[in-house]
Amino acid sequence: MDWMAWTWPTAAFFGVIALLLITFTILAIRFPETPRVGVLRIETTRGDRLFITLLGSAFINLAWLGLLGANQPYALILCMLYAAAVFRWV
């Protein structure tokens, strides 16, 4: 890790993203899915919903830092609720 000057939280973040991608790839192979139409009125698959969740979570965290500045773990709770909503209704 020293050669890239990464911290453990940064490495953990990218590790979780890699595990998510691997998991969703395995799920797509083992359990093929037909796209569904949700509240956005567009066809989405699991991968699309994962992308929407990751993108939205990034914006939630940036807004949290910009507006509140502290207690970032509470933003994680908000991101989890957002992810649950996206996978349920989008």
Mean pLDDT by 10 residues, the chain (90 residues): 75 92 94 91 93 96 91 92 95
What does the pLDDT read at residue 70?
80
What does the pLDDT read at residue 7?
84
What does the pLDDT read at residue 16?
93
What does the pLDDT read at residue 61?
93
Read off the tokens for 48: 């699309």
Position of tokens 């957002």?
Answer: 82
Q: Distance between CA 37 and CA 41 in Å, rounded? A: 5
What does the pLDDT read at residue 9?
81
What does the pLDDT read at residue 67?
93
The DSSP letter of residue 90 is -
